Amino acid sequence: MATMAECRSALDKLSDNLAGADGDVRSAAALDRSLSCHIKDLDVTFTGRLAHGRIQVLETVEGPPREKAEIRLSMTGDDLVTMVNGELNFAKAWGSGRVRLEAGFRDLLRLRSLL
């Protein structure tokens, strides 16, 4: 089971990957939205913003998200780490229910290039 530190490191790596991306991925990551990532097996939520092509983690709270973010992710810590490391395909994990992504319809359309 991934630790909280490994999950935070994975989010930082994902942020670096988004910041260094080109084309459609860079455009999709350029949203300015509140973001939450609930790690189900650790029962913690990282909250922050997706802004300027980066994920800015502002707070870590115990349990599910306290407020409804504009972009909401939910998964296990292991799935987060393996996705960021390129060992788990996001679209397949999402399609199988291992990963949940909730956002407004327009945001989902823009985020599809990240998938």
Q: pLDDT tens digits, the chain, 115 residues: what are they?
A: 999 999 999 999 998 888 887 776 667 667 899 999 999 999 999 999 999 888 999 999 999 999 999 999 999 999 999 999 999 998 899 999 999 999 999 888 877 766 5
Query: What per-residue confidence (pLDDT) applies to 97?
Result: 95
Query: What per-residue confidence (pLDDT) applies to 115?
Result: 56
70's tokens: 């504009």
Query: What per-residue confidence (pLDDT) applies to 52?
Result: 84
Q: CA–CA separation, 99 vs 39, rounded Å? A: 10
114's tokens: 């990240």
Query: What per-residue confidence (pLDDT) applies to 53?
Result: 84
Q: CA–CA separation, 111 vs 109, rounded Å? A: 6
φ, ψ of residue 78 to 5 degrees: the values are -60, -40
